Structure 1
């Protein structure tokens, strides 16, 4: 297998504190981490474009130990979140925000890969000029919309569609959103799902609903079920892993939508059960 990266993931790597009841654990996170490890575990050499502060070099080492290439530019702080999970009640706080990822640090990488996966965690995570560059490239581009349906207000993360999303959608082919994020987007643009897909020229929309499964909107709507999990260990990052696994089967292995979504659901279930990423 060639070690030349085939996929570039762009977005913040994070230091997360996950709080569940009276328990809390610290771990690395972000779409770049969860999706990056998933791509790499499937034999797809992956480079992460992210900004990690010098004092958090341990995060770099952890990612590289997973076989990932990491391109990090100077930043005073690394992005960090506190993820609260109290049964059905989940909320987030952002404690720190790394410098935005720039065109200069990304361009040479984007020009060499087959697939760019965008994983911003807030609206200013990636310089908007980068989307103009992506629109001129022949590579396949996928996006997890979560960073563009978030407003950070005094550290509190709230659901709100960013004006930047409009620019981003014109440069991507496939997006993933959870059902609440999709509802917010459709209300913001006053469109239904089919119109959104056609207006922005999207090939597919991947919509997740947690343990209820979800659906893929392509030429037709294809539903999928979540796989049962006997004991839930951690759900943080499950959507990132689902989407990465779906992209692998659907667009790298060229399987059909039903097979790809079922495979992705099985990988996500293994992760939630604590059996996929150490």
Structure 2
């Protein structure tokens, strides 16, 4: 690889506060950590508060050997209160106006962007104008847009999204990752609700001139659409410990594979098997076995 070699996960770093205790959450760190397991240089970009929770996040990432550009800002470190209802379904309350809503634009970020070959960002981290502007500036500062992978991983949480943010992000990315439930919501918002999921994907691929669109459908498999082609893989049947971070590991394996020169079909296969493995382990950042990473 040349000096434009970095893979970046940008956005929220937070704690999921569960009935049994707290766990580090946030898609960008999950993504960056798994990319690093495939032997590629990666970095997580976020912000934490000047508090014990923020210090613990930084120490946790450091202990995992994860490169980080995590600003300390005068806001509390992000938390998500997770309550389990009587039916066993988790309910999330994502605290607002926290550190990761206020990721500042810095000289260090500008120089990181100049080295970045692939970036993954979502919709949740764009709910506040500060982080949204920083993400957009980072995308603007990346070199070689045609050769880079700019992944928009849709994550519709609570009411923290709108049509304008989704539309702008789809224009700026060249790979869109979305799940079947999110696709239904986005399609309603964009005014084509009555057609089947695959047709919706073809419309988005063409409308936003995407290199690829990844559609994940849980136990019903996943698709990768490229102009004129579609790859489908069934979801492997595994004993699920939890599904936390499985989608982020899918994205990481897929992008790492493409950066290593693999085909879309090969990258899709690795992503499916990586994600399935992560489902068999507790937590979002298990160590992957050599048969996946070699």
Q: Is the 8 A contact 1:144 1:175 kept in 2?
A: yes
Shift of 1:5: 6.2
Q: Structure 2: any 5+ residue segments left out of the alignment? A: 193-199, 288-294
What does the per-residue CA deviation read over 1:18-48, in whole Å, with 9 as the maximum and x for residues that have no partner? 45xxxx3421111122111101111111111
Superposition pairs for residues 236-247 of structure 1, below 5 Å?
236-247=244-255
Distance 2:88 2:140 in 1: 39
Report which stretch shifted further, 128-137 or 72-81.
128-137
Identify the match of residue 267 of structure 1 among 274, 281, 288: 274
TM-score, length-normalised on structure 1?
0.84
SS in 1 for 2:115: coil
Counterpart Cα distance in 2 of 1:2 and 1:65: 27
1:154 counterpart residue number: none
Aligned to 2:40: 44
| Matched length | 264
Return closer, same or farther for 1:51/1:190 CA change in 2, 3 Å cut-off: same
CA distance in structure 2 between the aligned counterparts of 1:16 and 1:3, rounded to whole angstroms: 36
- Against the structure 1 CA distance between its residues 246 and 160, is the aligned structure 2 distance closer, same or farther, given a 3 Å change threshold? same
The 8 Å contact of residues 11 and 125 in structure 2, kept in 1 or not, is answered as: no
TM-score, with length taken from structure 2? 0.79
C-alpha distance in 1, partners of 2:12/2:29? 9
User: Match for residue 73 of structure 1?
Assistant: 71
Counterpart in 2 of 1:108? 111
Shift of residue 221 of structure 1?
Answer: 2.4
Q: Is the 8 A contact 2:13 2:25 kept in 1?
A: yes
- More deviation in 97-106 or 172-181? 97-106
What RMSD, in angstroms, separates the aligned Cα atoms of the two structures? 2.7
